[in-house]
Amino acid sequence: MKFGVNTFLFTSPFTDESTGILKMIRKIGFDGVEISLENVGDFDYGDTLKALKDNGLVCCSVCGFFTGDRDLRGNQSQQDTSKRYIMECIDACFALECDLLAGPFYSAIGRARKETEEAKEEQWRAVVNNLKELCSYAQKRGVYLALEPMNRCATDFMNICGQAIDMISDVGSPMLKIHLDTYHMNIEEKSAPMAILDAGADLFDIHVSENDRGTPGTGSIDWKGIRDALVRTGYDRYVVIEAFTPEIPVGGLAASIWRSTEKSNVDLARKGLSFLKALFAE
């Protein structure tokens, strides 16, 4: 199994100056980095690719940052804004020699409210149509898009793996895949291992953190069940630590992190990776 870490654990936003963290990430023992592209122009793709290679790392995925007007089910202006941003993220993937854009790109994070059935159907159609266009764009660049279901406080649109499976069916593109997160699954799924098995070969990314969004292996998540499900599906992509600490204000605020779960983000990364390597070595 290959292991990666999301840049939110160490910095937000990721900029040209952030490439300095790559040496530390490699020294900890990670194989790849999931880079969050918060704003177009935050960093130079070519320089970042060189820094990754210089440190023996790969960009295992680009993580979209969906707030404000980046909303594929919003008004027309919001849909257009989101599509332009997602296309830029796809271009970033291509430039970084990465084949995956992951995240909840169906809507803006934090849009969570009661909707009428009519509104739900209209929004679903809008996302389907937009994703068809985006998947066509992504296919020309060899980039997959992986939908991430999120918990009920983050979105009312897609909370469980089954909804992502339905979206893939409706869009009908081989480029649309699934991205699962142990934190969100712990809240929404009846069984995280079963959700992984349901995703099957369409699972292209998995974020791992504990039930408190801290260090994997320190809480109540069913790690052996998750490991066994990943092995059964033949998952051979990256297991990515996406955790947050109050040390990184933007990421921490977005994740509602108000207290420290470790002495530092470096401790979290080291302990989490050590746990995961031991888990998958059993």
Interval 133-142: pLDDT, tens: 999 999 999 9
Low-confidence winner among 141-155, 157-171, 232-246, 250-264 (lowest mean pLDDT): 250-264
In tens, the pLDDT along 41-79 reads 999 999 999 999 999 999 999 999 998 899 999 999 999
Cis peptide preceding 13, ω within 30 of 0:
yes
Q: Quick check: 178 pLDDT over 60?
A: yes
Q: Quick check: 209 pLDDT over 60?
A: yes
Region 2-25 average pLDDT:
97
Task: Parse the chain into domains and list their residue ranges.
Answer: 2-281
Cis peptide preceding 216, ω within 30 of 0:
no
Tell me what pLDDT residue 250 has.
62
Q: Quick check: 256 pLDDT over 80?
A: no
Handedness of CA 148, 149, 154, 156 (dihedral sign): positive
Give domain 2-281's CATH number out of 3.40.50.970, 3.20.20.150, 3.40.190.10, 3.40.50.620: 3.20.20.150
CA distance 41 to 237: 28
If pLDDT is split at 50, 70 and 90, which confidence band does 252 have?
A: very low
